[in-house]
Chains A and B, each alone.
Chain A
């Protein structure tokens, strides 16, 4: 047997193994022989294997004997609804939880403190500013050996950051 024939046979065998056991018990021998005849006629093994793969998928998805298609469809629909409902619940609670972390503490809200000229540029943090943008400056010549502009972060509060 040539290597290509062995590979073709392996492809079809692999596809046939995708069928449920009850199908294989009944049709596998005949299906393998049919595939061999079709390959001998010049049909590509890959397309035969693909046809068997699609057939196997249909066989797994088809309702078992005695169970109607509407029963299976109803079960699938119910499962999809449950999944969607759970996803909606998770999506609905996640933003609320995230928003809860930025809520100010309950109780009287202290008056806003206007920034004074002396406070601008100082490092002391504002009590109600959760995040504070900082100014970025390029400082050239900080490391003379490298000779490249160096990025330094200056801890000066941005004028617009006060809230």
Chain B
């Protein structure tokens, strides 16, 4: 299996990747996720987008809900989720390095 085929996150969309990155340092609930993503990526996730991505990631087994804290459900990244995020970030890093190198060589 190629690295590209291993990357299960390449089809889930940017919001899902941002959520996984946010959950990589610990569990968070919806509002905290929106604030965190806005802070580290400058992307404002809409609440509808957030819940869609959370459901998708949960179906894929990449995150899991924790017991509700009042009305809020915190989520945490699972071991397969962490592995998938690592593979995806490695792929992005390779693309990023290749892009930077080619920009240098091309002198654009």
Contact = CB atoms under 8 A, between A and B. Distances in A.
Contacts, number: 52
B49 interface: yes
Main secondary structure of the interface of A (DSSP, over half): helix
A55 B52 contact: yes
B31 to A, nearest CB: 5
Which of B47, B50, B51, B59 has the most chain A CB atoms inside 10 A of its CB? B47
A21 B46 CA distance: 21
Say whether chain B's binding surface is mostly helix, strand, loop, or mixed. Answer: helix
Interface in A8-67: 23, 27, 29-31, 33-35, 37-38, 47-48, 50-56, 58-59, 65
A54 B73 CA distance: 22
A52 to B, nearest CB: 5
Interface of B: 29-31, 34, 46-52, 55, 59, 68, 71-73
6 contacts: A23-B51, A34-B31, A38-B47, A47-B46, A50-B46, A54-B46
